[in-house]
Amino acid sequence: MSAPDHPKKVIMNETANKMQGATTNNLRVAVVGGGPGGYAAAFLAADLGMHVTLVDPEANPGGVCLYRGCIPSKALLHVAKLIEESQQAKNWGIDFPEPKIDLQRLRTWKEGVVKKLTGGLGLLSKQRHVEYIQGRAAFENSTSLRITKTDSAEVVLSFDRIILATGSRPAIIPALKIDSPRLMDSTGGLNLEDIPGSLLVVGGGYIGLELGSVYAALGTHVTVVEMLPGLLPGADRDLVLPLHKRLEKKFEAILLNTTVASLKVEGAGIRATFDGASVKDGNRERIFDRVLVSVGRKPNSEITGLKKTQVQVSPRGFIEVNKQLQTADPAIYAIGDVVGEPMLAHKASHEGRTAVEAIAGHKVAFEPAAIPAVVFTDPEVAWCGLTETQAEKEKREIKVAKFPWGASGRAVTLDRPEGMTKLLVDPQSERVLGVGIVGAGAGELIAEGVLAVEMAALASDVAMTIHPHPTLSETVMEAAEVFFGTSTDVYRPKRG
Ligand code: FAD
């Protein structure tokens, strides 16, 4: 049952002991940007004895993730889940009346969640003696920053190393830029100004689908427009299908192969015109109460004075780094959304920690076998490591073992049998290369997949690991059993 030796296995306590002390004690490190990349880097640097300054415009660390991304969206999605479960309860003989939504209290609760978590980070920052400066940083040269504080005061500080963690912002389509408070990006969408009667979501990626799901649960008629032939471009189609089917019931319309050609303020709404082969003549335009544009994110690499350093920026606007997250300027490191895809909080944090270890002189490289991606819709979609789409593109031979949740006792007790768990396995070594899950709670379940891929687990390791019953986690084990044709709950007739 043992996995092949893994080159990255390290004993963390030994590593930490080696890192603490000697070379790191007197290093002065600045971290620009207080998101999950920046604060993770700043905190580890402080833990390793460096003198750390963290700069961010907000009162506390948190960045996009905590103030206007992961956290507020998940708080609202939790509410959406509750509303939908109360509606589904009709199937189980429980009738709840229509929910009354007090928008002000809902917003206060969401804001309270953000405040609690960012306040906690502020406290952790103080406890670690991180110098937190509320302001924006610009480069004077490779090792000096001019920091304009929120109260307009300016300071110039010098450092041995600078870590850029400036993150990203919503991308905009210039042709769709109109002057209207009813046109929102993800930040505006999370503000929840009202519950519009109708909402057009431009872009069928994870942010559009998550926020669309929130508004649909609150009672808005949601239309999603995606220019590609499917939702969640990049994800395996078999994982997206159950989500698409459920969203078709929740949303008023999902228009694929369609683009929004123009937006125009009209009365109290916005008139949108659509283009695309599947757009029928009668449906070429429509007025919506609000429009949410969620067509991706752009890296914040236009940092004032960056040209005074040797840092290189790619044509797509990402800061270029090596596997130690060091830029072309030896004194400057960069992490998180500003260095590239996937633009995810956990990738940013791990990069932040790797950059700090590199600065501490430790032999490290950021080369994960699996970075999980989770779409927190209902059902959730999650994957890690190799995907089938990627394997097809690379013409890589793999075996795929799928376990349908209709055969999972736990999924049936939850009345959520539409899910599926699959393993992508190397046919020769039987090593698990990737895991994909669609279903309720897939975002929690994928962590086991990440561990399997990262630890180079074999399908037999997963199959022989006793999972608790009845849980959705059993579907991971049973997918491995499917690989061997011995799943207890899926009958596969013998050939010939
Ligand atoms: P950011 O979090 O973007 O933080 C960068 C910080 O740097 C900001 O505070 C910015 O103001 C500051 N800054 C910029 N320039 C300067 C400067 N010159 N001086 C000082 N400070 C500066 N990811 C997930 O993993 N899971 C999710 O569920 C998820 N949900 C999301 C939902 C939404 C609606 C959005 C918008 C994003 C979501 N993300 C999610 C993505 C996640 O928020 C980002 O990947 C993550 O925040 C990136 O972290 P970061 O540290 O690179 O930068």
* 455-496 confidence digits (pLDDT tens): 999 999 999 999 999 999 999 999 999 999 999 999 887 766
**Residue among 31, 53, 70, 375 whose CB has most ligand 1 atoms within 8 A, to mutate:** 70
Ligand 1 neighbourhood includes 372 CB (under 6 angstroms): no
**pLDDT recorded at residue 425:** 98
User: Tell me: the pLDDT tens digits for 413-437?
Assistant: 999 999 999 999 999 999 999 999 9
pLDDT band for 27, please (50, 70, 90 cuts): very high
Domain 174-295 superfamily per CATH: FAD/NAD(P)-binding domain (3.50.50.60)
Residues forming the active site = 469
Q: How far is the CA of 66 from the centre of ligand 1 (A)?
A: 8
Q: Can you say whether residue 326 is alpha, beta or left, with left for phi > 0 and alpha for psi between -120 and 50 degrees?
A: beta
Cα of 35 vs centre of ligand 1, distance in Å, is 5
Q: Judge if the beta carbon of residue 56 lies within 6 A of ligand 1.
A: yes
Instruction: Name the residue ranges covered by the structural domains of the chain.
Output: 16-66+108-169+298-359, 174-295, 373-484
Query: Using an 8 Å Cβ cutoff, are 376 and 443 in contact?
Result: yes
Residue 346 CA: nearest ligand 1 atom is 25
**If you measure from the C-alpha of residue 414 to the centroid of ligand 1, how many angstroms do you get, rounded to a whole number?**
34
Topology, domain 16-66+108-169+298-359: FAD/NAD(P)-binding domain (3.50.50)
Rounded CA gap, 190 and 225, in Å? Answer: 19
Q: What is the dihedral of CA 188, 192, 193, 195, to 10 degrees?
A: 120
Residue nearest to atom 26 of ligand 1 (CA): 70
96: burial class by Cβ within 10 Å (0-12, 13-18, 19+)?
exposed
Tell which one of 55, 64, 145 to mutate to probe ligand 1, the residue whose CB is within 8 A of the most ligand atoms.
64
- Can you state the percent helix, strand and coil of the chain, rounding each to 5? 35, 25, 40
Q: What percentage of the chain exceeds 70 in pLDDT? A: 95
Cβ of 69 less than 6 Å from ligand 1: yes
37 lines ligand 1 (CB under 6 A): yes
Asked: is 373-484 a CATH 3.30.390.30 domain? The reply is: yes
Categorize the per-residue pLDDT at 12 as very low, low, confident or very high, splitting at 50, 70 and 90: low
Judge whether 16-66+108-169+298-359 and 174-295 match in fold.
Answer: yes
Burial class (CB in 10 A: 0-12, 13-18, 19+), 466: exposed
pLDDT tens for 65-96 read 999 999 999 999 999 999 999 999 999 999 99
Alpha-carbon torsion (391, 170, 71, 440), positive or negative? negative
Atom 45 (ligand 1) nearest CA: 344
Q: How far is the CA of 241 from the centre of ligand 1 (A)?
A: 29
Question: Ligand 1 centroid vs 167 CA: distance in angstroms?
Answer: 5
CA–CA separation, 372 and 357 (whole Å): 22
Amino acid 492: pLDDT:
80
Please confirm whether the linkage preceding 342 is cis (ω < 30° from 0). yes
The per-residue pLDDT for 26 is 86
**Is it the case that residue 16 has pLDDT exceeding 70?**
no
Within 10 angstroms of residue 370's Cβ, the number of other Cβ atoms is 21
Of the candidates 144, 128, 45, the residue with the CA atom closest to the CA atom of residue 360:
45
